Structure 1
Amino acid sequence: MKVDQAVAQTGTRESILKNAEVLVSDNGIQNVTISEIAKRTGVADSVIYHYFKNKEDLVFSIAKSHFRNAYNELHDQLEGILEPVSKLSKMIWYHLRYGQTHYNYPRIWLFECRANRSFYKHSAYQAVRKYAEVLLSILQEGVKQGSFRNDVTMRLVRELIFGAMDWEILQGLATPSEPYQLSHIQEIMALILPMIETPPRKLAENNDKASRIVEAAEQMFSQCGYKNSGIKKIARLANVAEGTVYEHFKNKEELLFYIPKLRWTEHFNSITEVFEVKTPIKKLARFIQHHFMLILTQPMFIKTFLLDLQLNPRFYETEAFAIFQDYCCIVDQILEAGKIDGSVRESVDTDKFKNLLFGGFNHLALRWLILKPGQKTDRLAEMDETIKLLTRAVIYNP
């Protein structure tokens, strides 16, 4: 009898998770209530609270369930594959395929979990770390077997790979008419392998009120998050009246979206030094360095961009996103010039490289600024190694 009861309870919990996944994916966590989830599941509200502390715990548990399932399935997928390159390719394929076959999960993972600071303190995050360790073990195994270089920090490579995959999925969510394709695995691997394969032997004082408001909002969003930042607090920090804020911005959301528009425009305009370098590979290295320096020079903006903007579906409807796209297209120009002069491999897929670059940046910035902000890390050394890895991914070696 006790066994039957345990099975029934497990079934109820799984049913709650599945129904919540559909509702939250379609509407967002803020627009779904516990009562709606209970009604769809066919249980009382109290039953949900028997299994989950609150709505946030329920949503985080959806991600936890998926990462546990993915971890177990991945073990079966990799069984019998001995060669590290094949294992790496298989894991990337599996990770992207899982997002395709579990349609609702990517939205919940990227928009509701990764964008929420509380997620990283939840037990679900440990399931994510356990899953990520599989990729690291593949890379380290490749080093032991001599297939991968022993002078590369494989934890850094792992960040780049997961960043590239997240970016690939995120772009598919942002543009549903152009979903990511599993056939792109070869293009992704063609960028990763050159990085890791063993080579063959051969805020100052400001009197402008609008600027003070923007700087105060950037600081407030970075420290407290968008949802916990109010116009009154921003006005107080900027040393202006609350009404003054509304003279410049209609509401808090308009202020949020103005920040990336301003910062990416500033960064875009400051990048002219990249084009003072003549060779495409040196231009690419200079661009990557310039981009990564944002973590050091604009940490508050990058935190806000990662958590409150990039994982916000409405960001992709703004003028700020168009400016960001123009900025990213500088990479297209550099790689095209490299293909013309022969310094960049003709087979390099530009879009996949941008996924690797910008997605990897996101993961590194997340670790440096949010997950382990107090940890002593030689960021400049990691930055230099990242530049070497990314340029190695595209360079032509006859």
Structure 2
Amino acid sequence: MAPMTLNWCQPAFHKARLIAMPIQCTVEIINGPMSNRIIRRQSIIQAAIEVFSKKDFQSASISEIAQRAGVADGTIYQYFKNKEDLFFSIPVEKTKEFRGQLDLHLEGISGALNKIRKFVWYFLYFFKTNPEYGRLLLLEMRVNKSFVKTETYDFLKQSVGQVMNILLEGQNEGVIRQDADIYVLRHLILGTLEHMVQRWLLKGEKYDLLEHHQEVSQVLIDGLKAIPPST
């Protein structure tokens, strides 16, 4: 069976100028039962994001999600055990997407400080283009005390390894400070960016989330940079 090819433009990063610019990307999807299952599962996940972002967990129903996804109620249970399983599968799927795309954006970029600039831009870009997921993760799941006891929370904790790798690379290069705990440095980056996204969501997404990304990058880098030895 012949493959189906999809083309789309995806923001990339120009290494020399440190700016976002479009490049042409191509993905090849093989037709068949497996691809149909993947596509259907993704449509259910997206429908769940849209429903859960507008209603709390208790109010949202499987029937609403199925209707939005264009499938029968029973189809949902072919992919997820129950509503809770579907709910907590969302950040796992979106984090995999985030990590995969971030790896592509970081490819070819040299230097830890340049990678931090790219990470800041992509983090904000990701949530700017996924506001419903942002509301679900940052305004509902993260403030739920039971969330920290889930396997999903453990997965999200492990997924910040990309930030740690950049910081370790910077320490090896001698450009990231080593006089502070690396976990503190990680919290500095992620805490700042998550706060920016939360504020943007609470303000009704009325301004460009990426407007000050260069300033934010520079402030973070100024705090992360290694202090030169005194002469």
TM-score above 0.5: yes
**CA deviation vs aligned residue, 1:144-190 (integer Å, no higher than 9, x gap):** 11011121111111112111111111111111264353131232233
Alignment correspondent of 1:370: none
Name which of 193, 196, 205 aligns with 1:165. Answer: 193
More strand by share: 2
Name which of 72, 75, 78 aligns with 2:106. Answer: 78
Instruction: Give the drift of 1:58.
Output: 1.0
Identity among equivalent pairs (%) = 34
| Structure 1 Cα separation of the partners of residues 154 and 136 of structure 2 | 17
Map 1:1-398; keep pairs closer than 5 Å. Answer: 4-176=32-204, 178-179=206-207, 181-202=209-230
| Structure 1 Cα separation of the partners of residues 83 and 160 of structure 2 | 26
Instruction: Give the drift of 1:141.
Output: 0.8
CA contact (8 A) 2:197 2:209 kept: no
Alignment correspondent of 2:17: none
Aligned-partner SS, 2:131: coil
CA contact (8 A) 1:29 1:112 kept: no
Instruction: Give the drift of 1:4.
Output: 2.5
Unaligned runs of 5+ in 1: 203-398
Aligned-partner SS, 1:27: coil
Letter aligned with residue 74 of structure 1? L
Instruction: Give the drift of 1:15.
Output: 1.3
- The verdict on how the C-alpha distance between 1:8 and 1:179 changes in structure 2, with shifts beyond 3 A counting, is same
Letter aligned with residue 58 of structure 2? Q
Aligned-partner SS, 1:147: coil
CA contact (8 A) 2:139 2:198 kept: no
CA contact (8 A) 1:136 1:154 kept: yes
CA contact (8 A) 2:95 2:156 kept: yes
Unaligned runs of 5+ in 2: 2-30
- The verdict on how the C-alpha distance between 1:25 and 1:105 changes in structure 2, with shifts beyond 3 A counting, is same
Instruction: Give the drift of 1:126.
Output: 4.1
- The verdict on how the C-alpha distance between 1:9 and 1:189 changes in structure 2, with shifts beyond 3 A counting, is closer
**CA deviation vs aligned residue, 1:275-324 (integer Å, no higher than 9, x gap):** xxxxxxxxxxxxxxxxxxxxxxxxxxxxxxxxxxxxxxxxxxxxxxxxxx
Instruction: Give the drift of 1:40.
Output: 1.9
TM-score, structure 2 normalization: 0.79
| Structure 2 Cα separation of the partners of residues 43 and 105 of structure 1 | 21
| Structure 1 Cα separation of the partners of residues 61 and 95 of structure 2 | 24
More helix by share: 1
Aligned-partner SS, 1:31: coil
Letter aligned with residue 108 of structure 1? L
Letter aligned with residue 173 of structure 1? L
> What is the number of residues matched between the two proteins?
201
**CA deviation vs aligned residue, 1:248-276 (integer Å, no higher than 9, x gap):** xxxxxxxxxxxxxxxxxxxxxxxxxxxxx
Letter aligned with residue 192 of structure 2? A
| Structure 2 Cα separation of the partners of residues 168 and 59 of structure 1 | 24
| Structure 1 Cα separation of the partners of residues 229 and 99 of structure 2 | 36
CA contact (8 A) 1:68 1:127 kept: no
| Structure 1 Cα separation of the partners of residues 79 and 151 of structure 2 | 15
| Structure 2 Cα separation of the partners of residues 48 and 147 of structure 1 | 49
